Amino acid sequence: KACDVTDSFIFKEINTKLHLRSGFLIHVACVCAGHNASRDVVTLVKSILFHRRNPLHFHFITDTVANRILSSLFQSWMVPSVQVSFYDADELKSEVSWIPNKHYSGIYGLMKLTLTKALPAHLSKVIVLDTDITFATDVAELWGIFRKFTDKQVIGLVENQSDWYLGNLWKNHKPWPALGRGFNTGVILLYLDRLRKMGWEQMWRLTAERELMSMLSTSLADQDIFNAFIKQNPVLVHQLPCFWNVQLSDHTRSEQCYTEVSDLKVIHWNSPKKLRVKNKHVEFFRNLYLTFLEYDGNLLRRELFGCPSPASPQSSALEELDEDDQCYDFRRERLTIHRVHLYFLQYEDTPTEDGTDITLVAQLSMDRLQMLEAICKHWEGPISLALYMSDAEAQQFLRYAQASEVLKNRKNVGYHVVYKEGQFYPVNLVRNVALKNANTPYVFLTDVDFLPMYGLYDYLRRSVVQMDMSNTKKALVVPAFETLRYRLSFPKSKAELLSMLDMGTLYTFRYHVWPKGHAPTNYAKWRTATTPYKVEWEPDFEPYVVVKRDCPEYDQRFVGFGWNKVSHIMELDAQEYDLMVLPNAFMIHMPHAPSFDISKFRSSPSYRHCLNTLKDEFHQDLSRKYGSAALKYLTAQRNM
C-alpha cells in the first residue's frame, strides 16, 4: 500500500511525474550527535516536511543525547506518515575511531561511511543529509534521481563548490586526492544495495588506510575518504546538478550555480560561521532558513492527501468527547499532545554520588524569562525547567540564553521546551515534563517567580540525610514568603527575614489574597522552630516541597489556572507522605504583573464552573484509587 511507512522493503519505481502524486516511501538518513546538532536537525526536518507529499522514513544515527531528544520530539510531534528509526552511533564508533580526523564534526563526521552496515539490510536506497541543510523543494524530486542512475552508479553527489581539493588555496596546501574539485558529501544519494554487493565496507577501508599512510589524518572527515575512493572508481558516481547542494562556505563558487538556474533546491550551511557567512545572496538564503527555524511545527502535522492516518488512541478519545459539553474545551485540551523538545540547550550534569542530590523543578513561559538569572544565582544545584513556548519564542529564548553570561556558564540546567498549542496553559503537563526529566533522586518542586534563600541547595541536601528521606515517605516543606516591592534586599538569614516580616517589608505568601494556600505551614510555629515539624494536610494547602523523584505526577486535567498544585499535594497526602516543615529554609515570591492567562480566565463564570466539574471528577478518581480514606478530601471540599 502506497501510504505504508513501515513497508520499507519494496522500492517502487517512479516516473518523472509520479512525485506529484503521493504514495511511495522515501528514506532519509542523518548522523546527529549532541544538543546543538539535535536542535539544528529540527530545522532540516521542518524544511523537508513543509514541502513533502510522500510518506517519509527518517533514519537517525545518534549518540545517547540526540537519541533522547529526538525520540521524544518525534513521539510527541506525531507527524502523520512519518516513521523514525534510531541507530546507536556509539556502537559504530569502533568502525571509524581508528581514522585520525581534524574536521570540526569530530568522529561523527566519519560515520556516513558506515551506513551500509548501520542501516537495515533490507533498505536498498537512502538520501543522506548533513544537519546543516535546508530544503527549498520536495525531497521526492531528489529521490527521483535514483531512477537516472546507470547500472554501475552507486552514489549520487554534487561537485564541491570550493577550490579546496584543487590544492591551490595556499602554499603547501595538500588536500586528499579527488577528481577535479571533488564532491561534497552534505547531500548523498546512497544506493545501499549495490554498495553492499560490491563490498563497499572493505573498499573504503582500503582507500582510507592507503591514503592515511601519506596524509596522516583527514581534514574534511568522510568527505576526504569518499573523494579518494571516487578518484579510484569514477564510474561509480552519478553527478547531481549543483542546485541539489548549494554550498555556502566562504570562497564558494556556488553563485555560478544558482544565478544560472534561479531555482534552488537545497542549501548547505557548510561554513563553520553558518548564518554569519559572507555571501552575495546570503540574505536570501538566511530568510529561507529563518522561515523554517521559527516555523510552527504543529502546522506540519497535517495528513497527506490520500494517506489517511490510522485511528490513534488520541483520535478515538477525541471522538468520544461530547461537543455540547460545557467543558468540552477543557477536556479537549487534556487530550492535546504537545510537542516536546528536551534539553534544548547544552546540558551536562552528574548527580552527586552521595545519593542526596536535588533538582529544582519549575516551569515558565516567555514573560518570566528574566527570573532565570536570579534563580541561577540563588540555587547552584541542578535545575530542570520546562518552557511553554512557540517555535519562534524558543529561538528568542535561545538568543537570550546565549547572550547571558550567567546562563552560559551553567551547564546543569536542563531546558525542556513544550510547544504551545490551544487556548489553555497546560500548566500541569508542563510541570510534569520538568519533573520527569530531573536526573537526581530528589526534586524541589517550586515556581519560577520564587527565589530560594541563599544556601538552600546545601541545606536541603543535608536535610534529606537528616530526615532519612531515602527510607521514608516525606515531603519537606520550604516555607514561602512574598514581597510586593521590586527593590528588595534579599534577607541573608532567617533572623533577617523575620525582622523584615515584622517591618512589613515581607509577608507570608499570599497573605492578602489567599492565606489558606499556605496557612497550614504554621508560620507562627516556624518563627521559633529549630527542628523540623510535622503539619497536617488541610483543604487548599499548596506548599512547595522536596520529595523523591518518583512522586506522583501532577494531574493534567487542570489546565489554565486553578487547583494545579492543590491537587498534587492532595495526592501526596493520599499516598501518606508526611508533610515536614523545615525550620531553616525559606523562599520568597518576587512581584510580577498578573499573567495574561490568569486575567483571561479568572473573570469567566464558565471557566469557574468547569474548574468545579474537574475538581469533582478528580475527587472521584482519588476515591477510586485510594479508597475510603480519600473521602476526607471530598468532605473537606463540600464543607467549604
**Where along the sequence are the contacts to a second copy (CB under 8 A)?**
20-22, 53, 258-259, 262-263, 281, 283-284, 287, 290-291, 294-296, 299-303, 305-306, 367, 369-370, 390, 392, 400, 403, 484-487, 512-513, 591-594, 596, 599-600
Listed residue (27, 64, 67, 32) closest to 48, CA to CA: 27
* CB of 37 vs a second copy, minimal distance in Å: 24
* CB of 49 vs a second copy, minimal distance in Å: 11
* CB of 165 vs a second copy, minimal distance in Å: 28
Q: Which is nearer to a second copy, 53 or 238 (CB)?
A: 53
* CB of 511 vs a second copy, minimal distance in Å: 11
* CB of 364 vs a second copy, minimal distance in Å: 12
Q: Which is nearer to a second copy, 166 or 275 (CB)?
A: 275
Q: Which is nearer to a second copy, 153 or 309 (CB)?
A: 309
Q: Which is nearer to a second copy, 174 or 487 (CB)?
A: 487
Q: Which is nearer to a second copy, 106 or 241 (CB)?
A: 241
Q: Which is nearer to a second copy, 230 or 610 (CB)?
A: 610
Q: Which is nearer to a second copy, 202 or 603 (CB)?
A: 603
* CB of 68 vs a second copy, minimal distance in Å: 28
* CB of 604 vs a second copy, minimal distance in Å: 10
Q: Which is nearer to a second copy, 298 or 567 (CB)?
A: 298
Q: Which residues contact 302 (CB under 8 A, 6 or more apart)?
A: 80
* CB of 508 vs a second copy, minimal distance in Å: 16
CB 301 within 8 A of CB 527: no
CB 559 within 8 A of CB 420: no
* CB of 287 vs a second copy, minimal distance in Å: 4
Rounded Cα distance between 276 and 280, Å, is 12
Q: Which is nearer to a second copy, 262 or 639 (CB)?
A: 262
DSSP state of 277: -
Rounded Cα distance between 142 and 74, Å, is 23
* CB of 585 vs a second copy, minimal distance in Å: 25
CB 139 within 8 A of CB 56: yes
Q: What grid cell was written down for 164? A: 579546496
Q: Which is nearer to a second copy, 403 or 495 (CB)?
A: 403
Listed residue (442, 440, 512, 435) closest to 481, CA to CA: 512
Q: Which is nearer to a second copy, 31 or 369 (CB)?
A: 369
* CB of 342 vs a second copy, minimal distance in Å: 24
The C-alpha angle 285, 146, 33, rounded to 5 degrees, equals: 55
Rounded Cα distance between 356 and 361, Å, is 16
* CB of 593 vs a second copy, minimal distance in Å: 5
Q: Which is nearer to a second copy, 10 or 261 (CB)?
A: 261
The C-alpha angle 164, 166, 170, rounded to 5 degrees, equals: 65
The C-alpha angle 523, 526, 528, rounded to 5 degrees, equals: 130
**SS3 (DSSP) at 216:** coil
Q: In terms of residues, how long is the chain?
A: 640
Q: Which is nearer to a second copy, 344 or 397 (CB)?
A: 397
Instruction: Name 430's bridge partners.
Output: none
Q: For 598-623, give one letter per residue: b (16+ CB within 10 A) or e.
A: eeebeeeeebeebbebbbeebbeebb
Long-range contacts of 289-294 (CB under 8 A, 24+ apart): 289/43, 289/134, 292/43, 292/46, 292/47, 292/50, 292/134, 293/43, 293/391, 293/395, 294/391, 294/392, 294/395
* CB of 376 vs a second copy, minimal distance in Å: 14
**SS3 (DSSP) at 280:** coil
Burial class (CB in 10 A: 0-12, 13-18, 19+), 56: buried
Rounded Cα distance between 236 and 151, Å, is 9
Q: Which is nearer to a second copy, 301 or 548 (CB)?
A: 301
Torsion angle, alpha carbons of 375, 378, 380, 381, to 10: -70
Whole-Å CA distances, 475 to 325, 445, 454 = 37, 10, 21
**SS3 (DSSP) at 224:** helix
CB 87 within 8 A of CB 118: yes
**Residue linked to cell 520568597:** 588
Q: What grid cell was written down for 444? A: 524541589
* CB of 490 vs a second copy, minimal distance in Å: 16
